Amino acid sequence: MKSSLLLVALFIIALFTGAALFFYKSKIPDIYQLNNAVQLQLNRVSSLDTNTNELALKNRINIETNYDTITKSVSQLKRSVKNMAEKNAPFLDPKNALLNKRYKALQQEIEVKSDFIENFKTRFAVLRNSERYVPVVGERLVLTAQQNNLTDIATLYRDTIITAFNFSSPYDKNADDRLPELIIQLQATEAPMPDEALSDIIEFTRHTQTMLNEKLYVDTYLNNALQTRTQENITELNLAWHEWLKQFDHPKRLLEYAIIAYIAYILIILAVALFLLRLRYKNLAQNVEEKTSELKLTFDQLQQSEIQLMQAEKMSSLGQLVAGIAHEVNTPLGYVSSNISTIKRDLHRLDAIWVAIQKLNQEIRAGGKDRHKLSQILREIVVSYRDSGGKQTVAELSELLDDSVQGLSEISQLVISLNDFSRIDKSDNSAANVHESLKSTIKICSNVIGERKITRLYNSDLPEIPFSAIQLNQVFLNILTNAAYATSPDDGEIRITTDLRDDQVLIEFLDNGCGMDTLTERKIFDPFFTTKGVNEGTGLGMSIVYKLVKGHGGDIEVNSRLGEGTTIRILLPVTTGEQ
């Protein structure tokens, strides 16, 4: 008891510890998954950032012809940073000082970049217009100047156009310095040129100036946008992130140790449990033995009782048998005894004759001259002869002797039958001959059968059956006794049929006795059930028959009709189960 209480206690502790571990584990986030997610997000931010740069340049050199793609890219970039924070609360938590700072720095830098890009877009649109228009209006002015023979001015205009062209392309760096100078000179051309050219000159000047101004802005904004530290910020954020993750290293390791300890603990409990189990197992047999010994005792006693009961029945039937035998022996013994008495008496009378003859013999030997003595002796002889009954006596004596011999042989037969009946076999399942057994049994109880008619319908090809002969005899004895008891002594008839059905031997006993009602029929195999009087039967006969038949793998069937008779059918297997 104590040990199982201990086990339960240990188990409960294990449960709570397990729950505690689980709880602790739930506090630690899944680092691997978390990190994966964050890395993916950082990668996305990074690639959007790069993409934005690329698109800005593409717009600058007119590969992209409108701002839709770069606008979308910037919008996605901003959203990706915001998403990252929304999905990962640690970034926004001010308690995570470094992480939060780096995140804000990245966010800030992206805002800055976005502003630069917007400004770039704004300025570039203007720059592009002027770049496109300058040659157009410039060419018009050149023509007008030429038409008015202002060749210097025309040259100036052309020069300006070319310088502007060079200025807008990246190849000629000198144009950067020259263009402002030329623009100053343009204003001076207003006077010499015709009036209708004035608006053109104004436009030309304005647009070239615009080019000059806007290119600076455009390239500055673009450069600034490209030079924002977004990539570095992303890297720094990543580093801060990994620093932040390190805080879980210790708890994770603790958890690992705890789990190892827990597993060890569980294994120990398991070992203890197994040990206790083994102990129990060892004691089990003993315990079971103890507990069942009483049962066994009772069972043994029961078996003993059963044997005793069977013995009792045997004794009882034996008693009946013995009574029968005693009677059978007594009858011939009686008349043999009286015969011998008669013979003895007669021989005694005959003896008188021998004595007389002996006297005669003596006399003759002595000479036989005394006639008086001789006639006296003769007279003795005749008297003795007449007393003994004469010649008849010897015949009578012979008859009596024959009778006696007959009587003794009857007794001898009985003894032989008894031997047969109680023949001790080596094993219970040695073969028994059904017909032989029937014959012996009928003889044994011939006293009980008396004058009743026995009809035999035997199948001569009946094989031997694996049945102990004693027990088979006992079966038949009980049935025949019952049949005899049920039938009238005068016209009682018992028909015995034997047959072979498949691999079963059938023995059927049919009598024309008083039969049984359904209730009795049902109970005849019940131990101690008898319809006989108190001292007449034990009531065990049929129950033993049932037990023996069933024990040999056979079947017994009873069919009875009240007032008409009873049929008992026995089926016994020809082979035992093992064969």
**Closest CB to another protein among residues 80, 130:** 130
| Closest distance to another protein from the beta carbon of 137 (Å) | 8
Measured CA to CA, the distance from residue 420 to residue 413 in angstroms comes to 10
Per-residue burial over 172-207, b = 16 or more CB atoms within 10 Å of its CB, e = otherwise: eeebeebbeebbeebeebeeebeeebeebbebbbbb
CA-nearest of 544, 547, 542, 567 to 557 is 567
**Closest CB to another protein among residues 9, 63:** 63
25's tokens: 């584990």
**Closest CB to another protein among residues 199, 430:** 199
Q: Radius of gyration over alpha carbons of the chain, in Å?
A: 70
| Closest distance to another protein from the beta carbon of 113 (Å) | 15
DSSP string of 251-277, one letter each residue = HHHHHHHHHHHHHHHHHHHHHHHHHHH
| Closest distance to another protein from the beta carbon of 182 (Å) | 19
| Closest distance to another protein from the beta carbon of 70 (Å) | 9
Tell the residue number behind the tokens 């009875």, with chain if given: 560
| Closest distance to another protein from the beta carbon of 57 (Å) | 14
Measured CA to CA, the distance from residue 393 to residue 344 in angstroms comes to 12
Binding site for another protein (CB under 8 A): 63, 65-68, 71-72, 75, 78, 118-119, 121-122, 125-126, 128-130, 132-133, 137, 199, 203, 206-207, 210
**Closest CB to another protein among residues 17, 71:** 71
Measured CA to CA, the distance from residue 115 to residue 112 in angstroms comes to 5
| Closest distance to another protein from the beta carbon of 206 (Å) | 5
Q: Is 565 left (phi over 0), alpha (psi -120 to 50) or beta?
A: left
CA-nearest of 223, 227, 234 to 46 is 234
CA distances to 484, 558, 570 from 497, rounded to whole Å, are 16, 15, 10
Query: Rounded to 5 degrees, what angle do the CA atoms 333, 339, 342 make?
Result: 145
| Closest distance to another protein from the beta carbon of 74 (Å) | 8
Cα 56 to its chain centre, rounded Å, is 72
| Closest distance to another protein from the beta carbon of 116 (Å) | 12
Measured CA to CA, the distance from residue 161 to residue 208 in angstroms comes to 9
